[in-house]
Amino acid sequence: MKHPDDGILLVDKAEGETSHGVVKKVRSALHQGKRYKGKRYKVGHAGTLDPFATGLLVVLLGQGTKLSKFIMAGEKEYLATLELGVETDTLDPTGTVTAIRDVPTLSLDHIQETAKQYEGRIRQTPPAYSAVKHQGLRAYTLARKGIPVNLKERTVTVHSVSIVSVDLPHITMRIRCGSGTYIRSLAADLARDLGSVGRLKTLRRLKSGTFDVADAMPSEDILPEALVSILEKGMPLRDALSGMDGIEVDIQLAEKVRQGYQPCWNELVPIVAPVHPLIVGAKNFSPVQNDQSIFIKLISGDKLLAIAKKNDRGGGHEKVKFERVFS
């Protein structure tokens, strides 16, 4: 990608930085380049990381900001270290200590068996210091003012909890989970089930969807003088959703879609070349529903044209329902 008009940038966020701070740094670096100087340029991110946490932050550039909900919905993977014996109001190292308790003697087998109970669809209460909305405000805004915050339990999905190492009072885990899972809450709940209290000592996001922190640019390298490096590491929109099924659309239909035209599914059949395996009937086109996503991307040439909801009814004459269209 020669310039980050539209795309994504993978950043390895450092401890102490806010997600908003990283976005601001990227925007500042780009605006100091000749191409964006004096212009308003959209930069966002797909999934906040707490200031104490490190790791993968998916930064969205230009029309890439339209991909936020699709990227955020992907599976996440974290490396987390739980510290037993002490609990804080934030459930991490930045908060005020609210409880101290002895750490019992724990075997590795017992820790592993207890942690396994958190796999699957579980009920979880978000931390008071979180971005969840409560009474029209972010929960952390109320919590910082000393206003009691009673958030409702909700169902989240935890695919796996693997114990990496145990050096009491510290337990390091690798966690794969669905969107909306709070690792701080999981760690605090696990600590109580182990007969103590606890807080996260460290948290590092390793993966988000198909993106890996190994491919990310260190946030300290995001400087105006490193603009060329930033541009080289940018990923075009076409490649941003590699886990999503896709179909190729010809230039003529693509232009009509950009102008507001809403085609029927069967209009795509004669000009379609599957990017991923799809069911294509003789008279209609019906994308396959899968567990990963209910969406499909339309691609024209080297550009992402649109994201649409999959049609699982087999009705070729039904209109394509677009979630996002890209210019």
Among all residues, which ones are annotated catalytic? 50
DSSP letters, 214-272, are GGPEEGGG--GGGHHHHHHH-EEGGGTTTTS-EEE--HHHHHHHHTT---BGGGSGGG-
**Which residue, 219, 162, 301, 179, is CA-closest to 18?**
219
Q: Which amino acid belongs to residue 10?
A: L
Instruction: List beta partners, residue 61.
Output: 7, 43
**Phi, psi dihedrals of residue 144, rounded to the nearest 5°:** -65, -25
Q: Kindly give the pairing relationship between strand 198-208 and strand 54-61.
A: parallel
**Rounded to whole angstroms, how far apart are CA atoms 230 and 111?**
43
Q: Which are the contacts of 245, defined by CB distance < 8 A and separation ≥ 6?
A: 274, 275, 276, 277, 278, 287, 288, 290, 293, 296, 297, 310
Q: How far apart are CA 181 and CA 185, in angstroms?
A: 8
